[in-house]
Amino acid sequence: MTVHFGGFASPFNTPSYLVAAVARRGVKGLTAISTSMGRGVKHRDSQSPWLPPELRPQDFFDVALMAELGQLKKGITTFAVGARHDLIYPFEERLADGSVEVEVLGQGSLAERIRAARAGIAAFYTPVGPGTDVAKGKEVRDFDGIPHVLETALHADFALIRAWKADRYGNLIYRGPRTFNETMAGAARITIAEVDEVVPLGDLKPDQIHTAGVYVQRVVVRPSTPVSDWTTPL
Amino acid sequence: MTVHFGGFASPFNTPSYLVAAVARRGVKGLTAISTSMGRGVKHRDSQSPWLPPELRPQDFFDVALMAELGQLKKGITTFAVGARHDLIYPFEERLADGSVEVEVLGQGSLAERIRAARAGIAAFYTPVGPGTDVAKGKEVRDFDGIPHVLETALHADFALIRAWKADRYGNLIYRGPRTFNETMAGAARITIAEVDEVVPLGDLKPDQIHTAGVYVQRVVVRPSTPVSDWTTPL
Amino acid sequence: MSVPSNRNEPERLHPTVMAMVVARDFEDGFVVNLGVGLPLECANAMPPGREILLHSELGLLGFGPVIGDHTKADPYVTMVGNLPVEALPGMVFLSHDESFAMIRGKHLDVCVLGGLQVDVEGNLANTQFEGKPAGNLGGAPDLAYGAKQTVVMMHHTTTDGTPKVVTRCTLPLTAPRCVSRLVTDVGVFDIRGGQIILRECAPGWTPEQIQGITEARLVIPNDIREVRLM
Amino acid sequence: MSVPSNRNEPERLHPTVMAMVVARDFEDGFVVNLGVGLPLECANAMPPGREILLHSELGLLGFGPVIGDHTKADPYVTMVGNLPVEALPGMVFLSHDESFAMIRGKHLDVCVLGGLQVDVEGNLANTQFEGKPAGNLGGAPDLAYGAKQTVVMMHHTTTDGTPKVVTRCTLPLTAPRCVSRLVTDVGVFDIRGGQIILRECAPGWTPEQIQGITEARLVIPNDIREVRLM
């Protein structure tokens, strides 16, 4: 099973509640598509060290939790490891012991491959990648004398994303940069959005909706009291 | 010279002022990219016959004006002619007398080719087109057993679009469906937006801006009194 | 819009009735695109009690019926065909590229398209009008591919009586093997496995009369019914 | 962040100063992306009197400096590196796909990237950290290709003194032939035509001393200056 994990590194745009739900469910053998393979529970406060403790969400879980729990078979990502030598994140540990595979590509190609899945495009030629390891084993073709690499759509079974508000149709708005949350919406068989609030139909205006509800199959409202331990049964 | 003409058939989303400006300037040999090749001045009221005369914009000009004036070399479009036999639009007249060329393709492929130009994608495989005339002379390749046709990015020298409000950075918001106006913004060397109003920087909110100003090189405010005759010098 | 009846044939279905027949099969929650021409009639024929999201390719999703009193219309909110429609709560505006990402990416349940010819393989021709120097593809190729189901709604014959339901399309194809349901002014048909199956006949029409104005050979099962509106 | 100086060498430029040197060349109206690591320092070093739109690949455009008093920060408005930044009028939020459409489509003027190695061809390696089982590409490959100019801002040597400005990158490439300007803690360089040209030296540094900690052979023109901040 392949899962898109939305967000970009911040506790405020990571679908933490859904990540914890995947941990609770215990499903194994996942291929996780995520721009970063995360830091895990132990190192999560290193993500935003500037954040005053009282503002630090106690329910912050990222995809590294899946690595910690041995739920991953593979990661498709742009940040596979930490940049520091003194912090070893869970996915890096799993990589080192050979229990997971990894595909590393650039963030633009990752985003475009996911967008292609949403948009029904099978593959595209991007100028980014030729001359680097990313192009190995892929078709390279010149357009206007510039080499381009063929990248294919990246579908998933589920897309787990984080938004701010939803209405009954699944229309979404986001708060702040929309990151991979907007990109992944609709790029999976089932898109699940974790939101702060569901508002009455009509509250979200037609010119202000970021993700149309047709891309969203399920909406989950985050608990008003954060669940700080993923092992707590719900 | 190749020009994207934005909008979709309605006087309310067509960049009429910019179309008239191209007419005034008299530039010839244009390749016009437009979802419809338009109806021209003579037939323009047939576009929205339901519209009460007092609401009908007197400055409605579409790309057919360029055909009337012999400014076009070629049209790349999804609606080359009218559906009715009793209304012959200017581009159709030019087609019939052999003075213009035409490339007709589906609207989704047209939109995606323009989006590819904005997004730096050289070409893409779409499942739409194989088995029809659109695929003739193009590469067809199977992905997951489904034939796809290779379509290339459609760049232009200028993109002429219509929006509602702009700020000093060229950030834009649109009123109603955003049509090809949003799609074409950024898909040309120079994007020019015709707007109703320029508002102070900060009035357009970061989560409500539809087109970022980096895609827009010039903004023109529509005259408060519509200029109903394109031959009127400005 | 209406086809002059042959004196000897029963009355054909009015477009308003055809629209009800098409729309009765839209399920609650369906996302449906209506093509230009006859299919637009469906916008005012939505089955009561069901929420159906109408999609229009210029970047409009979740709109209501065509507005009759045009002085009350917002001219910025129009569907394809440039007709003003009601704004409904939950409506969304899109760009053309996102609108077609939605179509091509198979996020729509049904599209209803007009047709010039439909054949036994479900091929659709609706682009090249007779006597015109070029065709009009519009959004049809993407819709025909992308929607989970493609329904064609058209008159059964041309104004001069030429059959439009044929063994093999002779006009340029809009999209191959895409049509699975056909609603004409004389009946309702399923298309599958290289066959056109007559399901329902317009009031007063016999299967034989329908076959008589159809070039393709129709499959005529035992359980044929009269056209239902619900 | 800082490299321990060899006792015998002049003082190296502080990252804050390097950032000023990079940012002084941003022209009014430029759209600039700052990569993770050292380049983020530039956010707080914008040249006064010029409007520069900062782009961050998670979908943020037109933001201001990093906010020092974190209790006043909006935690939803962060640039890459997850640092809170000031909201400026005209700021725009984007999705990741649109953010990279903007990058790849050549709508950015400059990107500033960190580097592990830069060579005479302008090849950049900044993905594979020593001893790590995999690399980190992030947004760098797209930025290096898409921005009209790619500037690398890095320490001139590793913490153990190994040269990072080399004849040919030995680490996996992030992007080929992309770097045209290099700012290190000892000088400013142009890279073109297979040559690295020394333009400015940090105070106290001679061209010979800089060549001494550089593996690649430097071109040393007559008009070399001391590093300028404006």
Q: What is the pLDDT of residue A114?
A: 98
Do the Cβ atoms of A125 and B127 come within 8 Å?
no
Number of A/B CB contacts below 8 angstroms equals 58
Nearest-CA neighbor of D58 among B173, A213, A182, A59? A182
Q: How many domains does chain D have?
A: 1
Give the number of other CB atoms < 10 A from CB of residue B58.
Answer: 12
Is the pLDDT confidence value at C3 over 70? no
Rounded-to-integer distance, Cα D76 and Cα A163, Å: 12
Q: Strand B146-152 and strand B172-173: pairing?
A: unpaired
Helix, coil or strand: residue B135: helix
Q: What is the pLDDT of residues A3-60, one digit of tens each?
A: 999 999 899 999 999 999 999 999 999 999 999 999 998 888 888 888 888 888 999 9
**CA distance readout (Å), B165 to A65, A74, B203, C97:** 45, 46, 10, 21
Q: What is the pLDDT of residue D2?
A: 46
Q: Is A185 on the interface with C (CB under 8 A)?
A: no
pTM of the model: 0.97
Mean pLDDT of A180-195: 98
Distance of CA C128 to the CA centre of its chain: 17
Q: Which residue has 């760098």 as its token pair? A: D140
Mean pLDDT of A156-170: 98
Q: Is A112 on the interface with D (CB under 8 A)?
A: yes
The string of DSSP letters for C6-49 reads PTTSPPPPPHHHHHHHHHTTPPTT-EEEE-SSGGGGGGG-PPTT
Number of B/C CB contacts below 8 angstroms equals 163
Range of the domain at D48: 15-226
Rounded-to-integer distance, Cα D42 and Cα D34, Å: 7
User: Helices A107-119 & D96-104, crossing angle to 10 degrees?
Assistant: 120
One-letter amino acid at C63 equals: F
Q: What is the pLDDT of residue C4?
A: 52
Which residues of chain B fall below pLDDT 70?
none
The string of DSSP letters for D192-222 reads ETTEEEEEEE-TT--HHHHHHT-SSPEE--T
C–D contact (≥3 CB pairs within 8 Å)?
no
Instruction: Report DSSP state, residue D41.
Output: G
Q: For residue B38, is it left (φ>0), alpha (ψ between -120 and 50) or beta?
A: left
Q: Is A12 on the interface with D (CB under 8 A)?
A: yes
Q: How far is C104 from chain A (nearest CA, A)?
A: 5
Do the Cβ atoms of D142 and A106 come within 8 Å?
yes
For B79-225, strand residue ranges (E) read: 101-104, 123-126, 140-143, 146-152, 156-162, 165-166, 172-173, 188-195, 197-198, 218-221
Q: Which residue has 């080499």 as its token pair? A: A147
For chain A, strand residue ranges (E) read: 2-5, 30-33, 72-77, 101-104, 123-126, 140-143, 146-152, 156-162, 165-166, 172-173, 188-195, 197-198, 218-221
Mean pLDDT of D65-83: 91
- Percent of chain C at pLDDT > 70 equals 97
Within 13 Å, how many C-alpha atoms sit on residue A214's CB side? 31
Query: Does some domain include residue C201?
Result: yes
Question: Could you tell me the two tokens for C9?
Answer: 């044939």
Q: What are phi and psi of B19, to 5 degrees?
A: -60, -45
Kindly state the helix (H) or strand (E) to which residue B184 belongs, with its residue range.
helix B179-184
Query: Does some domain include residue D4?
Result: no
Rounded-to-integer distance, Cα B217 and Cα B198, Å: 14
Instruction: Give the ipTM.
Output: 0.97
Q: What is the pLDDT of residues C51-74, one digit of tens each?
A: 999 999 999 999 999 998 888 899
The band of D130, judged by pLDDT with boundaries at 50, 70 and 90, is: confident
Mean pLDDT of C134-149: 96
Q: What is the pLDDT of residue C7?
A: 64
B70 neighbors B98 (Cβ within 8 angstroms): no
Is the pLDDT confidence value at A210 over 80? yes
Q: How far is D223 from chain A (nearest CA, A)?
A: 35
Q: What is the pLDDT of residue A46?
A: 85
Q: What is the pLDDT of residue D4?
A: 52
Rounded-to-integer distance, Cα C85 and Cα C20, Å: 18
Is the pLDDT confidence value at D1 over 50? no
Rounded-to-integer distance, Cα D68 and Cα D83, Å: 10
- Which residue in A has a C-alpha nearest to residue C88's C-alpha? A202
For chain C, strand residue ranges (E) read: 31-34, 53-56, 60-66, 78-79, 83-93, 110-113, 117-119, 124-125, 149-154, 165-166, 179-184, 187-192, 195-201, 218-219, 225-226
Q: What is the pLDDT of residue B91?
A: 97
- Percent of chain D at pLDDT > 90 equals 90
- Which residue in A has a C-alpha nearest to residue C60's C-alpha? A206
Q: What is the pLDDT of residue C2?
A: 46
Instruction: List the single residue in C90, C100, C101 with the smallest CB-CB distance to A169.
Output: C90
Q: What is the pLDDT of residue A47?
A: 82
The string of DSSP letters for A12-74 reads TTS-HHHHHHHHHHT--SEEEE-SB---HHHHGGGSSTTS-GGGS-TT---THHHHHTT-EEE
Q: What is the pLDDT of residues B184-219, one digit of tens each?
A: 999 999 999 999 999 999 999 999 999 999 999 999
Dihedral angle over CA of B84, B89, B91, B94, nearest 10: 100
Q: What is the pLDDT of residue A86?
A: 83
**Which residues, at least 6 apart from C158, have a Cβ–Cβ distance to it below 8 Å?**
C164
Give the number of other CB atoms < 10 A from CB of residue D223.
Answer: 5
D109 neighbors D53 (Cβ within 8 angstroms): no
CATH fold group of domain B2-120+154-221: Glutaconate Coenzyme A-transferase (3.40.1080)
**Which residues, at least 6 apart from B145, have a Cβ–Cβ distance to it below 8 Å?**
none
Q: What is the pLDDT of residues C6-18, one digit of tens each?
A: 668 999 999 999 9
Q: How many helices (H) and strands (E) does chain A have?
A: 6, 13
Nearest-CA neighbor of C63 among A169, A51, A20? A169
Query: Does some domain include residue C10?
Result: no
What are the domain boundaries of chain A? 2-120+154-221
Give the number of other CB atoms < 10 A from CB of residue B88.
Answer: 16
Neighbours of chain D (3+ CB pairs under 8 A): A, B
C–A contact (≥3 CB pairs within 8 Å)?
yes
- Percent of chain B at pLDDT > 70 equals 100
Query: Does some domain include residue D2?
Result: no
B68 neighbors B22 (Cβ within 8 angstroms): no
